[in-house]
Amino acid sequence: WWQGGDMYSITAASLLLRGQLANSAEREGLRVIPGVYGDDATKTPILDANGKTIKNTTSISAFDYFFSDGFGAYGPDDTNLYDRTTFRLRELNLGYNIPKKWLTKTPFGSANISFSGRNLWFYCPNILKGLNLDPEVLSDVSTSNIQGIDLGAAPSTRRYGVNLRVSF
């Protein structure tokens, strides 16, 4: 389990703006960016007569949402920041020592069979649904120890194995 920390994801941005995720498949509809109206000159919220912020209700096209300097993938960097909280089953090993009485008519003195698996399951509740992005995958050069920046990572791999060990 990994709790918190932010990651910047170019993979998410690229898949979103190309309509490769379910939540970006509707490319013709209008979008309303979550937030409040603000003064572009002062970068402060615009307030109503009661001194409260005014919720944004202005619609923009899918093109402006995903491909402009607005809200989408090419917009502010914080649009592509995700919480890295991850629950993971990293490794599982199960083994069984075969009872010696089962081996009496064989040339074996002992036998063990085991199964192993790595990267069997992970869940990231705060990363886009359908993205299947593993926040622990490094996506820079292999000699780097870069953390928290995904520059187009390949998916993590799952590994399974079976081992049979015998002695004579």
What percent of the chain is modeled with pLDDT above 90?
33
Residue 75 confidence (pLDDT) above 90: no
Report if pTM > 0.75. no
Q: What is the mean pLDDT of residues 39-61?
A: 93
Contact 89, 121 (CB under 8 A): yes
pLDDT of residue 42: 92
The residue behind tokens 């000159």 is 41
Per-residue model confidence (pLDDT) at position 70: 60
Give 37's contacts (C-beta < 8 A, 6+ positions apart): 45, 46, 53, 54, 55, 56
Lowest mean pLDDT segment, chosen from 56-65, 133-142, 148-157: 133-142
* Terminal Cα distance for the chain, rounded: 42
Q: Do residues 128 and 23 lie in contact, with contact meaning Cβ atoms separated by under 8 Å?
A: yes
